[in-house]
Amino acid sequence: MKKILLTGGLGFIGSNFIRYLLSSTNKTEIINLDNMTYAANPNNLSGIEKEFTGRYTYIKGDICEPELVQDIFKKYKPDAVINFAAESHVDRSIKDPNIFVKTNVLGTATILNVSRKFWEGDYSDKRFLQVSTDEVYGSLPEDKPEIKFTEETPLNPHSPYSASKASADMIARSFYDTFGFPVLITRCSNNYGPYQFPEKLIPLMISKAVKNEKLPVYGDGLQIRDWLHVTDHCSAIETVLRKGIIGEVYNIGGNCEIRNIEIVKMILNYLGKPEALINYVKDRPGHDRRYAIDASKIKNELDWEPAFSFEDKIRDTIKWYINNSDWIENINSGDYQKQGEK
């Protein structure tokens, strides 16, 4: 892919992917469409235009505006779209579901419609990659570790966020079924790493522990998540974009199931802080108990698997947030002081 229209590239995963792809390829050009909402941060890509001269363009705008998207297609003629743009925090979706429906559902439909119009049925060298989440599958039983989400697991979302992402996936898949449109869908487990907005679990716990503030943990803290370093996620997306079979879904997981409370204690231990800082708070409505990804399909068919261990990368992640405390302090997050989780 020579020209990629990437939406939501100022966010956590999108910005990491832009750095990853520009660094690992020589000719790829990226057009980043981002509306600069609360979780977007231009500092995530500081210096990128100078480092990769002529290969990166930022456009401020909303994916729900068809005229703007059409203008981008006319000017840049991308041959691939990667849709990262999404409202993604479950707590915020409970507070205000409408914005999640607008961005995640209507926005995805807008990008799909414009792409189909401009590619005019010649899809031989085109790709549309919808970046999704394991949360669309719902929750797994804690007492049956052998059961994991596969690409065939029925969608069963439990929050407005996950419902909006499931809806976007289904719209994208319908374009493949109806028009033969070159859709690919990836569903990943919980990401961690640098540049993650500090309402999420790991950066929030680090920033509060450093300040000796109470660490709010939902319910009993025994929720289980499958953790994936963001660089591994980036490499998986690039692999699916190059080698994935059109119309297919690919689960991306870290093979790393850990309870939330264990992660919190791990952070406290690394920082030399007492567990007395943990503050159990009222659980979130509809809180899923366990996620776990079966990533055998992407391994067997596309020869991808995670390269990093959680033990190594969580240490690197903690160090990054400590060394970049000014990055967190400069974020005007409003209400991110709540317990965080993808």
Q: What is the pLDDT of residue 87?
A: 85
User: Which tops the pLDDT comparison, 43 or 318?
Assistant: 318
Summarize the confidence of residues 44-53 as an average pLDDT.
92
Catalytic residue among 34, 87, 134, 294: 134
Kindly report the CA angle at 104 between 101 and 109, in degrees rounded to 5?
100
Catalytic residue among 135, 169, 199, 232: 135
Is 158 in a helix, a strand, or coil? coil
Residue with tokens 């559902």: 105
Is 300 in a helix, a strand, or coil? helix
Tell me how far apart the alpha carbons of residues 332 and 342 are, in angstroms, rounded to a whole number. 19
Neighbours of 78 (CB within 10 A): 23
Taking only the tens place, the pLDDT of each residue in 234-292 is 999 999 999 999 999 999 999 999 999 999 999 999 999 999 999 999 998 889 999 99
Catalytic residue among 56, 161, 250, 321: 161
Cα dist from 270 to 35, 39, 74, 273, 316, whole Å: 36, 27, 51, 8, 11
Tell me how far apart the alpha carbons of residues 19 and 1 are, in angstroms, rounded to a whole number. 16
Note the pTM of the prediction, 2 decimals: 0.93
Tell me how far apart the alpha carbons of residues 201 and 199 are, in angstroms, rounded to a whole number. 7
Q: In sequence order, what are the beta bridge partners of 216?
A: 279
Neighbours of 170 (CB within 10 A): 15
Tell me how far apart the alpha carbons of residues 166 and 117 are, in angstroms, rounded to a whole number. 24
161 is annotated as an active-site residue: yes
Helix (H) / strand (E) containing 229: strand 224-229
Cα dist from 138 to 3, 157, 290, whole Å: 35, 5, 9
DSSP 8-state class, residue 179: H
Tell me how far apart the alpha carbons of residues 69 and 114 are, in angstroms, rounded to a whole number. 7
Q: What is the pLDDT of residue 1?
A: 61
* Range scoring the smallest mean pLDDT among 6-10, 27-31, 207-211, 338-342: 338-342
* Spatial CA neighbour of 28 closest among 52, 49, 11: 52
87 is annotated as an active-site residue: no
Structure tokens at 95: 């507070």
DSSP 8-state class, residue 249: E
Q: Which domains, and CATH codes, for the chain?
A: 3-192+228-253+291-307 (3.40.50.720)
Helices (H) and strands (E) in the chain, counts: 13, 12
* Spatial CA neighbour of 190 closest among 275, 258, 114, 265: 258
Share of the chain above pLDDT 70, in %: 96
305 is annotated as an active-site residue: no
User: Is residue 91 over pLDDT 50?
Assistant: yes
User: Is residue 295 over pLDDT 80?
Assistant: yes
Tell me the pLDDT of the chain averaged across its residues.
Answer: 93
